């Protein structure tokens, strides 16, 4: 009996010890320190700026960031469909200065809309209902259609689109509104601007400031042209487009970019410098074909290999030094950064009850994190890809270390 009591006591002590080993207090927040902004694959935009300031040409910059690739003229007169309104329930348009709209639906004939009118569209079931309001505030019902085509009179500076509190301005090509079925939501409006890639699309690209050195602007334009060419093969059903106008593809701000005071003309001039003829522009190619191009804001001092980030080895997406990204004069926001992440966000990122500490599970050859492990006070641990973690906690890049975590105000501990 005494031996039994001793064994019971021993097991209780062991259990208590194990429980206390996991009962580390979960800190209220974690502090991350790192460098760079973006996925790190391909062309560093800050690096392109730095090299341009050193006198490098656009071709030299691009061949540096895409080793083995060429910069050559290609045909670029294709029409590209740019999504400028995604999954909308309603949207309206007006011309400035006042002009005339020509509206055509797939269920009716073309209609001329009088000057100074506003066109409004709204989802009704599986179709889009259209109305117009003239300068006298008189409203006209224009019918319903699953597809509307909208063109405007020559000489109009721009057409203004309004939806969900946002305003977007376009001044080239034509617009289409299509009713598209969205899982769980029913039908929604997709708005696309169909324009010529060669100039009309590139004039509206807003990936970098137009005040940057000319070679940096040209590098971005050539990369953006190449990106667009690689997306022309498939018309995406979910957006009725080749590309979105946002970070899902590349930023396109339309008329706002080319009409910038002072700098709009500089950007358009840089676009024109990449023309080889009226029907060709410079693009990045590998083995005679436009490459799958990637670009990002800045790195942790060296670019990433595609194989480390996406698991696919691509010859021209290798790793090259990128010291310009670590220059605080060139990159004041992201040469180094600090982010504080609260306990609730950390626990949600790992899908744990809480997080007491974390560790980098795997790093790439460039030192960036590839996966990260979170540890809970109850003994659980989860390892997740760094891309998932970055999005969940809103870190600018995967180049970060393991600094101190904040337990309480005025109290810190090391991970």
Q: How far separated are the first and last CA of the chain, in Å rounded? A: 45
Contacts of 117 (CB under 8 A, 6+ apart): 94, 101, 132, 133, 134, 135
Decide: 220 and 284 in contact? Cβ < 8 Å: no
| Rg from Cα positions in the chain | 27
As a whole number of angstroms, the distance between CA 192 and CA 107 comes to 19
Asked if residue 415 has pLDDT above 90, the reply is: no
Query: Who contacts 344 (Cβ-Cβ below 8 Å, separation ≥6)?
Result: none
pLDDT confidence band for 25 (50 / 70 / 90): confident
pLDDT higher than threshold 50 for residue 414: no
Listed by start position, the domains of the chain span 17-36+335-413, 80-198+234-253
Single out the residue of 399, 401, 394 nearest to residue 415, CA to CA: 401
- Are 93 and 119 within 8 A, CB to CB? yes
| pTM > 0.85: yes or no | yes
Report the C-alpha gap between 397 and 35 in whole angstroms.
7
| Higher-pLDDT residue of 213, 117 | 213
d(CA 164, CA 217): 32
Summarize pLDDT for 27-85 with one digit per residue, the tens: 999 999 999 999 999 999 999 999 999 999 999 999 999 999 999 999 999 999 999 99
Band (24; pLDDT cuts 50, 70, 90): low
Please name the CATH architecture into which domain 80-198+234-253 falls. Sandwich (2.60)
């Amino acid at each position: 009996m005494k031996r039994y009591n001793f064994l019971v006591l021993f097991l209780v002590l062991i259990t208590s010890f194990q429980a206390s080993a996991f009962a580390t207090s979960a800190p209220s927040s974690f502090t991350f320190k790192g460098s760079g902004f973006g996925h790190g694959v391909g062309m560093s935009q800050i690096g392109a700026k730095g090299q341009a300031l050193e006198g490098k040409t656009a071709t030299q910059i691009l061949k540096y960031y895409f080793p083995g690739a060429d910069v050559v003229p290609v045909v670029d007169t294709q029409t590209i469909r740019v999504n400028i309104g995604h999954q909308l329930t309603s949207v309206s348009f007006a011309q400035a200065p006042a002009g005339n709209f020509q509206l055509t639906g797939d269920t009716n004939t073309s209609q001329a809309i009088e000057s100074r009118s506003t066109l409004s569209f709204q989802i009704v079931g599986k179709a889009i209902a259209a109305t117009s309001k003239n300068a006298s505030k008189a409203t006209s019902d224009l019918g319903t259609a699953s597809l509307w085509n909208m063109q405007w009179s020559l000489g109009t500076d721009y057409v203004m689109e309004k939806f969900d509190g946002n305003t977007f301005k376009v001044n080239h090509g034509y617009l289409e509104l299509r009713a598209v079925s969205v899982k769980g939501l029913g039908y929604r409006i997709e708005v696309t601007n169909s324009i010529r890639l060669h100039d009309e699309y590139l004039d509206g690209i807003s990936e970098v400031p137009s005040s940057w050195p000319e070679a940096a602007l040209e590098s971005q334009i050539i990369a953006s042209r190449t990106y667009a060419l690689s997306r022309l093969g498939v018309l995406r059903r979910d957006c009725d487009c080749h590309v979105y106008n946002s970070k899902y593809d590349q930023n396109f701000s339309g008329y706002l970019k080319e009409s910038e005071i002072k700098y709009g003309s500089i950007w358009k001039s840089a676009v024109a410098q990449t023309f080889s003829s009226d029907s060709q522009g410079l693009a990045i190619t590998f083995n005679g074909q436009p490459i799958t191009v990637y670009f990002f804001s800045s790195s942790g001092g060296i670019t990433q290999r595609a194989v480390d980030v996406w698991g696919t080895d691509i010859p021209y997406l290798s790793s090259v030094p990128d010291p310009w990204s670590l220059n605080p004069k060139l990159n004041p926001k992201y040469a180094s950064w600090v982010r504080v992440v609260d306990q609730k966000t950390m626990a949600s990122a790992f899908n744990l009850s809480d997080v007491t500490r974390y560790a980098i599970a795997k790093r790439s050859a460039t030192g960036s994190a590839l996966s990260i492990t979170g540890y809970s006070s109850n003994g659980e641990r989860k390892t997740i890809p760094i891309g998932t973690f970055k999005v969940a906690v809103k870190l600018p890049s995967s180049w970060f270390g393991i600094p101190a975590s904040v337990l309480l105000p005025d109290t810190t501990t090391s991970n």
